[in-house]
Amino acid sequence: MSDAFTTRVLNIATGSHERVVDLTGECEDFLREAAHGRDGLLNVFVPHATCGIAVLETGAGSDDDLLATLHTLLPADDRWQHRHGSPGHGRDHVLPALVPPHATLPVIDGRLALGTWQSVCLVDTNRDNPNRQVRLSFMS
């Protein structure tokens, strides 16, 4: 594969509860190997219909605030037409419309060009699928 495009798949265990998983460290590790100090773009993509990728502050309560907001916007109850899985699972299939399954981020000198408090996160509200894949792709 060309040095202009490199990809890696991460396997992430999210468990049986809703989670925001910080992927920033894994993204930085990947870029150290793939970018070789070059400028480009990092695309982060999750090939699942019930989770998304967000750029937000973590560790100061924002990740919990995001999950609480999603509970308000997308309650886990019986209102959803999509009804397989655990009660309220239909909400998980609406999540990617609000938290998209991808993010494309600038890379400068081989490093993520994030703001001071920004982290790259997997947002998973689906308690029925505890194992996720995340594809990291660097393009220069």
Q: What is the pLDDT of residues 58-69, one digit of tens each?
A: 989 999 999 999
Query: What's the total number of domains in the chain?
Result: 1
Which residue in 34, 73, 70, 40 sits closest to 52, CA to CA? 70
Residues 6+ apart with CB under 8 A from 1: 7
Residue 2: which pLDDT band, with cuts at 50, 70 and 90? Answer: low
Which residue in 93, 112, 100, 119 sits closest to 23, CA to CA? 119
Q: What is the pLDDT of residues 95-122, one digit of tens each?
A: 999 999 999 999 999 999 999 999 999 9
Predicted confidence at residue 119, as pLDDT, reads 97
- CATH number of the domain where residue 92 is located: 2.60.120.460
For residue 23, the enclosing domain spans 5-139
**Verdict on whether the full-model pTM lies above 0.85:** yes
Which residue in 126, 105, 15, 108 sits closest to 55, CA to CA? 105
